Amino acid sequence: MDVRPVDPRDIRWEERAPAYPVYFRRGDASSEHALTGAAEVGEVLRWAREHADGRGYTTGAVAEPPEQPCA
């Protein structure tokens, strides 16, 4: 794992519109969903809990890499 400090004033590293995949699973069956437009990750976790119906779930975040300046 890599950890590095970030300057909160530098907004180049921020992702404005990540997608959050949510994977529900029970036994061998699974269903996948992609959530976009969430205000924060807590909203995604609440949605997953509300729709789990007793299934386990996993989520993450997908973001586009930042644009690199031309050299």
For the chain, what percent of residues have pLDDT higher than 70?
A: 73
Q: Is pLDDT above 60 for 6?
A: yes
pTM above 0.75, yes or no: no
Q: Which residue has the tokens 């404005």?
A: 16
DSSP 8-class letter at 16: S
- Mean pLDDT over 27-52 rounds to 94
Q: Supply the mean pLDDT for the chain.
A: 83
For the chain, what percent of residues have pLDDT higher than 90?
A: 49
Q: How far apart are CA 58 and CA 32, in angstroms?
A: 10
Q: Is pLDDT above 50 for 71?
A: no
CB-side exposure of 68: number of CA atoms within 13 Å? 3
Task: Quick: pLDDT tens for 10-21.
Answer: 766 666 678 999
